[in-house]
């Protein structure tokens, strides 16, 4: 442990922002690892809002029993715009001090991490982030908890939709989540054999979509699946549908999968990575780290500075798009 760093005797854990499958697995891992090391552990309910309200309870082993398979989060979650205010963060620091809580573990995405880093910078509170978001859009880590489950949920839905598309000889636009990220759309597109994927950060190429549909029709295909990343707001697939019907005279249906991708029992992969990250988060605090994130890179959990996870993830899409194009001929 680094010199002059206070020993962690107690910590709190919260979930913030959008929920993602596997958060409960991470909470369970944090609680049981901490208790096993003789560290008192507290659950903060409803994220940063709950912290400000003092909605904090001490947890024991039974508190996290039988939750590893559950979606959502037993701690609940929220988005707290008030936390952007310095005075509000100061009050949060005072609450933690009054509760004799030495460190904070935050499970969430970019906004949640920004709050944690600022809290550390302003009040020297040790913080560790665990990346939990279905969008997989946090820099510094190749993987975020919930992504695999969200992809699998969407793949199952598209497989069902393709049955109907084939039966009725139709083209379906299936919209998946990804406000600023197309990672879900790309993986779902590959895994479902989609004819085209519309990315959230690119203009819709109608000519390419129509060309792909027509080529399929010429060789006897009666249906097509187009995956759409939702972009800044849900409903992009309906705009594309209207254009394809009115300007290209195609029979098209749209389906928005929406929040079903957030829920559901986490896959084995999400449970495994979440459990490893929760364990690493507590261990890293015990070893003297004070402002880091549990990252998953090259198949291993590693600790990276929280600042490295704040820049936004660069999407490497071309290789995946090339694969989709190669297999959709």
H/E stretch holding 36: helix 23-36
290 is in an annotated binding site: no
Q: Is 155 annotated as a binding residue?
A: no
Task: Please state, in angstroms and rounded to a whole number, the distance separating the CA atoms of residues 242 and 203.
Answer: 16
Q: Is 162 annotated as a binding residue?
A: yes
According to the annotation, is 260 in a ligand binding site?
Answer: yes
Please check if 170 is assigned to a binding site: yes
Distance CA 71, CA 267 (A): 10
Q: At what angle do helices 183-192 and 318-327 cross, to 10 degrees?
A: 20
Which positions are catalytic?
135
Q: Is 265 exposed, middle or buried (0-12, 13-18, 19+ CB in 10 A)?
A: middle
In the numeric block, the tokens 């929760």 are attached to 278
The alpha-helical segments, DSSP class H, found in 193-248 are 206-218, 236-248
On whether 36 is known to bind a ligand per the annotation, the reply is no
325 known ligand binder: no
Annotated binding residue 110: yes
30 is in an annotated binding site: yes
Distance CA 251, CA 266 (A): 36
Residue 70 annotated in ligand binding:
no
Using DSSP's 3-state secondary structure scheme, residue 149 falls into helix
Give, as one character, the DSSP assignment of residue 85: S
Binding site feature residues for Mg(2+):
110
Binding site feature residues for ATP:
18, 79-80, 109-112
Binding site feature residues for ADP:
28-32, 162, 193-195, 219, 221-223
Binding site feature residues:
18, 28-32, 79-80, 109-112, 133-135, 162, 170, 177-179, 193-195, 219, 221-223, 230, 259-262
């Amino acid at each position: 442990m680094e010199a002059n760093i206070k020993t962690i005797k107690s910590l709190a854990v919260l979930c913030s922002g959008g929920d993602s499958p596997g958060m409960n697995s991470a909470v369970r891992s944090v609680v049981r690892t901490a208790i096993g090391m003789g560290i008192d552990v507290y659950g903060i309910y409803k994220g940063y809002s709950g912290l400000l309200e003092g909605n904090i309870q001490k947890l024991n082993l039974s508190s996290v029993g039988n939750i590893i398979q559950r979606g959502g989060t037993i701690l609940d979650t929220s988005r707290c715009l008030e936390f952007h205010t310095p005075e509000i963060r100061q009050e949060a620091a005072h609450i933690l001090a009054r509760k004799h809580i030495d460190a904070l573990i935050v499970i969430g995405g970019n906004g949640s991490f920004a709050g944690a880093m600022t809290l550390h910078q302003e009040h020297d509170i040790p913080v560790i982030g665990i990346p939990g978001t279905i969008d997989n859009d946090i820099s510094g880590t190749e993987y975020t908890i919930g992504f695999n489950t969200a992809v699998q949920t969407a793949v199952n839905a598209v497989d069902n939709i393709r049955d109907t598309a084939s039966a009725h000889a139709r083209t379906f636009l299936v919209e998946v989540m990804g406000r600023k990220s197309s990672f879900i759309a790309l993986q779902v597109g590959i895994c479902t054999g989609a004819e085209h994927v519309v990315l959230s950060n690119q203009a819709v190429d109608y000519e390419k979509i129509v060309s792909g549909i027509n080529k399929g029709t010429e060789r006897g295909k009666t249906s097509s699946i187009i995956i759409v990343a939702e972009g800044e707001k849900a409903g992009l697939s309906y705009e594309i549908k209207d254009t394809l019907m009115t300007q290209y005279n195609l029979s098209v249906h749209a389906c928005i999968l929406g929040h079903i991708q957030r829920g559901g029992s986490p896959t084995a992969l999400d449970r495994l990575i979440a459990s490893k990250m929760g364990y690493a988060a507590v261990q890293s605090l015990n070893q003297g780290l004070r402002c880091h994130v549990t990252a998953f890179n090259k198949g291993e959990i590693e600790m990276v500075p929280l600042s490295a996870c704040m820049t936004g993830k660069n999407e490497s899409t071309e290789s995946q798009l090339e694969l989709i194009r190669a297999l959709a001929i």
